[in-house]
Amino acid sequence: MNLMYINWNPDPIIFSLGGFSLRWYSVFWGHCHSIGQHRGAQDFPKEKDV
């Protein structure tokens, strides 16, 4: 009965170069941070000097 479930165990490391390892959650965190900055700039534009 091994077909009744999916074994989800992905590798958390995207790639490794020397001592540096890029992980999936750091990519998602950076992506969400950039989306938040973009949305913040749209919702709260800079005031123009009068």
What confidence tens digit (pLDDT) does each residue in 1-50 have?
566 787 788 899 999 999 999 999 999 999 999 999 999 999 988 888 76
36 strand-pairing partners? none
Note the pLDDT of residue 36. Answer: 96
Note the pLDDT of residue 25. Answer: 93
Note the pLDDT of residue 8. Answer: 83
- 12 close to 25: Cβ distance less than 8 angstroms: yes
Residue among 46, 17, 14 at smallest CA distance from 31: 14
Note the pLDDT of residue 26. Answer: 93
Q: Is the pTM of this model over 0.75?
A: no
Q: How far apart are CA 24 and CA 11, in angstroms?
A: 9
Alpha helices, H only, the chain: 24-43
Note the pLDDT of residue 29. Answer: 95
- 36 close to 43: Cβ distance less than 8 angstroms: no
- 16 close to 24: Cβ distance less than 8 angstroms: no
